[in-house]
Chain A
Amino acid sequence: MNSGAYRWFPIPALLLLVLAYLVPLSQVLMISVTDPELGLGNYALLVTSPSIARVLATTARICVITATAALVLGYVVAYCMTQARPAVRRLMLVGVLLPLWVSVLARSFAWVTLLRREGVVNSVLMGAGLIQSPLPLMWNEFGVSVGMIHTMLPYAILPMASHMRGLDPALMAAARGMGASRAQAFRRVFLPLSLPGVIGAGVLVLIFSLGFYVTPVLLGGGRVRMVAEYISLQIQELLQWGTGTMLATALIAAIGLLLFLLSRAVGLRALSGAR
């Protein structure tokens, strides 16, 4: 199969990647060490600028919260999907996929409707007499996290479910046959076997979360500033291209590092379900 003309087939894709991705990316890297002057001055800001430090800390904190919550919630759904009958599983899959086709903007606005002061959640709780004054459900990190977890759930569920389906059900049956309780069989057999899928999904969610822009802007009320918004501000408004491209480069480096650690931990093949 690998002989003859076939080996040339990836060339167009490779060219596209180089021209549309690597070339502009290297320009970004160049600007980060040349604007406003040659040197690593922009990178020094990573340790010297309190406002950049705060933006990075906020970004990291929200990404970890988002990834953790998405994994816990997603694991339950993924597990149920693997255990369900095929017809139910297909239905669940549609349920997981549907939100992916709704724009992040629309979903964020929907959360505004639910979480705002006179929104659905507060109105119901106040109407039921459970609270006296509206809860601060948005315009803070809580609101941003809710919106991001919602957006990220499919990305957590799908890789985990795909990995879980690749596990041999006979192993669980064997554990039960040898006297393990359902809980023991899950904890000592299924859970460890499913971990590579969990790690893979976690890294995927972390990587996507790092670049979030719309959700923090809409649900954070100006109080929650993540790195993507900060980069956009530097590039489009303040014309501090050096600072903006430095942060973009640092972001890519962070993602590269995550992927490297991931491949060391579980191997990229295990993630895709290929064996």
Chain B
Amino acid sequence: MTQEFGDDLRLLGRRGLLGGVAAASFAPSLVRAAVPEVVMCNWGGDAMKAFNDAFVGPYATSTGGKLVLDGSGPTNGKIRAMVEAKNVSWDLCDSGVTGLAELATRNLLAPIDYTVVDKSKVEPAFAYEYGVCNYMFSSVMAWDTTRVKGTPTMADFFDLKKIPGKRMIRKDSQAMIEMALVADGVPIDKLYPMDVDRAIAKFQTIKDSILTWDTGAQSQSLLRDGEVSMGWLWHTRATLLKREPNSKIDWNFTGGVLQPGLWVVPKGNPAGKQAMMAIASMQDPANQVKLLSALGNGPANPKAAPLVPEDLRSIDPGYPSNAAVQSLINADWYHDNHGKTFKRFLDFLSA
């Protein structure tokens, strides 16, 4: 199974798991009966402490309600099982564009209520009927500076003569198809509807040199260990690689794909409409910047940009100058095409 971006945050570390649980229980107990508690499911690990620090306290202050974190990982399969059994225990799930595509097409999600959630506090391209941006992340190109001179272009990724060595991509079609098309000369604002045949043909030219990663940690070690000379990975992992002592890895946002982490609400969620209140409370830009500094997850609210400290601007995927050089993922296209594209991509890799 391919790892979700949110799942990656679990593997960044294990600290803070207990902190999140402990702090969550400090919410005022008197109002608990009036406001149903909202259970937010993410992928555990470092994200537990970071989400707790950024959002749980402010939510309790502003609504008097309680936000409970569950780090057990909201896979599409688990959400479907819960909804179909009519035994849903999560109100908010940390999902993404492909999760939205599989879940919404099967009628497993509740629509986002934009009378409660403020559409003006989110990048317009990332506010969907059944999911709304919770944070941003990017798929970017990184390279080994001992083997690549200067700053490579996206096209160089496919030029094995100019830059020898293997290439690393994610074992997922999401963002990889986009980046292959950009490398092949498609402008970043003219990607959709995507020509999947063209992207696969592009990958075919370097097929024997492709290695894939499943987990974020794996993407780091392939680059760090010199297994590959260039790779496409999440910007959070590229950031960590570059920060390592004596790092030989560099990266940039150019030609990358800006993607949303999405809140989705399983149909029949226990807290009902209160889930929308929780999403609205988490739209505060200052709190979103806290998430950026803790995890590298970019703020979903465009109004956060002026609040981003100078030293974090270069790693904030949605920061205007960074967003300008990337493509924006198109959820509508994934809604109709994700399943077959993903299968096609995996068939190509294992053929």
Taking A51-B343, A116-B227, A222-B349 as contacts, is the C-beta distance between A229 and B1 under 8 angstroms? yes
Residues on A with beta carbons closer than 8 Å to the beta carbon of B212: 221-223
Residues on B with beta carbons closer than 8 Å to the beta carbon of A88: none
From B213, B214, B226, B339, contact of A118 by CB (8 A): B226
Taking A116-B225, A116-B227, A232-B1 as contacts, is the C-beta distance between A239 and B171 under 8 angstroms? no
Asked if A271 lies at the interface with its beta carbon under 8 angstroms from chain B, I say no
Chain B residues 1 to 40 lying within 8 A of chain A, measured CB to CB, are 1-2
Q: Chain A's nearest CB lies how many Å from the CB of B11?
A: 13
Asked if B161 lies at the interface with its beta carbon under 8 angstroms from chain A, I say no
- Interface residues, chain B, CB within 8 Å of chain A? 1-2, 75-78, 80, 98, 102-103, 106, 166, 171, 210-214, 218, 225-227, 339, 342-343, 346-347, 349-351
Residues on A with beta carbons closer than 8 Å to the beta carbon of B211: 139, 221-222
- A117 and B102 form a contact (CB under 8 A): no
Residues on B with beta carbons closer than 8 Å to the beta carbon of A55: 350
Which residue of chain A lies nearest to B105 when distances are taken between CB atoms in the complex?
A239
- B1 and A239 form a contact (CB under 8 A): no
Asked if A38 lies at the interface with its beta carbon under 8 angstroms from chain B, I say no
Query: Could you tell me the distance between the alpha carbons of A58 and B339 in the complex, rounded to whole angstroms?
Result: 22
| A–B Cβ pairs within 8 angstroms, 16 of them | A51-B347, A117-B166, A117-B226, A118-B227, A222-B171, A222-B211, A222-B213, A222-B214, A223-B349, A232-B1, A233-B1, A233-B346, A237-B77, A237-B98, A237-B342, A238-B343
- B75 and A237 form a contact (CB under 8 A): yes
- A224 and B350 form a contact (CB under 8 A): yes
- B227 and A54 form a contact (CB under 8 A): no
Chain A residues 3 to 23 lying within 8 A of chain B, measured CB to CB, are none
Query: Could you tell me the distance between the alpha carbons of A233 and B214 in the complex, rounded to whole angstroms?
Result: 12
Which residue of chain B lies nearest to A217 when distances are taken between CB atoms in the complex?
B214
Residues on A with beta carbons closer than 8 Å to the beta carbon of B342: 237-238
Taking A232-B1, A236-B76 as contacts, is the C-beta distance between A54 and B225 under 8 angstroms? no
